[in-house]
Amino acid sequence: MANITKELMNAPLPEMVKNLGTGIAEAQYALDKVSIKIAQMMSGFKEDDDGKLVQDPNTLIKLKEGEPGYSLLALGFTPTFYQYVDTLMEIKTSFSMSQSREFSVGAEVKVRAFMVTASVNASYSQKYQYSAEGSSMIRTKLVTVPSPAIFEQRLKELLRTENPSS
Go through the chain and tell me how many residues it has: 166
> What pLDDT, on a 0 to 100 scale, did the predictor assign at position 29?
95
> What pLDDT, on a 0 to 100 scale, did the predictor assign at position 28?
93
- pLDDT tens digits for range 29-76: 999 999 988 988 998 888 889 988 888 888 899 888 888 888 898 888
Q: Reduce the DSSP state of residue 139 to 3 states and report it.
A: strand
> What pLDDT, on a 0 to 100 scale, did the predictor assign at position 98?
54
> What pLDDT, on a 0 to 100 scale, did the predictor assign at position 1?
42
> What pLDDT, on a 0 to 100 scale, did the predictor assign at position 32?
92
- pLDDT higher than 50, residue 5: no
| The model's pTM | 0.59
- pLDDT higher than 50, residue 142: yes
> What pLDDT, on a 0 to 100 scale, did the predictor assign at position 2?
45
> Mean pLDDT over all residues of the chain?
75
Q: CB under 8 Å to 19, separation ≥6 — which residues?
A: 11
Cα Rg of the chain (Å, integer): 29
Q: Reduce the DSSP state of residue 78 to 3 states and report it.
A: coil
Of 90, 85, 87, 63, give the one whose Cα is nearest residue 74.
63
Of 82, 81, 84, 85, give the one whose Cα is nearest residue 152.
81
Output 130 or 152, whichever has higher pLDDT. 152
